[in-house]
Structure 1
Amino acid sequence: MVAFADYKAEAKSRGALALELYVTQSVPEKSPAEVKAVLPDHLAYQADLERAGKLALAGPLSTPDGENIEGMGLIIYRADSLEAARALAEADPMHKTGARSFTLRRWLVNEGSLTLSVGLSTKSVSLG
């Protein structure tokens, strides 16, 4: 096992991006109806985090066969530390009310690509 800080330093030294993000896996703890009741507050919270630049990506995960949504979700935060990311996750109404629980991990993003298209006259944006 390698310490996260050591791995991050080594990745940077070889030219990798070494962008540290925080990944939360969120799972239901209460009935679907109880989880759904908290959904409006959760979505408002997520929108606030997105506007503040603290939410990178979020959404539901499929079942392993890819055919259904089973209630598990993935949330990726931008934060200054693991503790700051934990505070964001704990403040989420889903987690705060106990409707869902979460696990949190550091994620070191080293490679990949995103495509962003901005339509100036149409004021549209698409991410691919």
Structure 2
Amino acid sequence: MSTDDNPKSVPVKDVMAASGAMLQKQLFAIFTSPVDGLGPIFANIEEHLKFQVELEREGVMFAAGPLWTDDGESWEGEGLVVVRAESREAAIAIAERDPMHVSGARSFRVRPWLINEGTLSVRLDFSTQKFTLT
């Protein structure tokens, strides 16, 4: 990848070449943070969740949810939304439509995220017609 033994960054093309046999599915992570405490977040949560469900129905949403504090004991209003988009600019346009961001309750940043490894399992029990994700 690089001739430097300890580089600070590597060009995307080098990462893509090194992981060429892997999935290489490009998604976009939207990190969202409160601007002025939790009050404005709670005031916009219903419209925000409706927006999230609509993204899910449209097939835009990959995954989303709250980010707990590092100790896993509380929530300070941060969230992560992962979307399917054609570009970072398109992902930013999606984030800009979120009622949390429209209202100013949260700010956001968007980072491209390449999925190379992982697994998703779905178990469907025919008798009960229930499924489980693992």
Fold in common (TM above 0.5)? yes
Counterpart in the other structure of 2:124: 118
Counterpart in the other structure of 2:83: 77
Stretches of structure 1 lacking an aligned partner (at least 5 in a row): none
Structure 1 residues 121, 85: CA separation in 2 closer, same or farther (over 3 Å shift)?
Answer: farther
Counterpart in the other structure of 2:5: none
**Mapped partners of 2:93, 2:69: distance in 1:** 28
RMSD: 1.6
Structure 1 residues 7, 85: CA separation in 2 closer, same or farther (over 3 Å shift)?
Answer: farther
The answer to whether the 8 Å contact 2:30/2:110 transfers is yes
Structure 1 or 2, whichever has the larger Rg, is: 2
Which of 16, 24, 28 lines up with 1:9 in the alignment? 16
% identical aligned pairs: 42
Kindly tell me the number of residue pairs found equivalent between the two proteins: 126
Q: Give the Å deviation of 1:27.
A: 0.4
Deviations 1:28-74 (A, max 9, x none): 01332221111011000000000011001111111111222221111
Q: Which amino acid aligns with 2:54?
A: D
The answer to whether the 8 Å contact 1:17/1:110 transfers is yes
Instruction: Using structure 1 for the length normalisation, give the TM-score.
Output: 0.89
Counterpart in the other structure of 1:40: 46
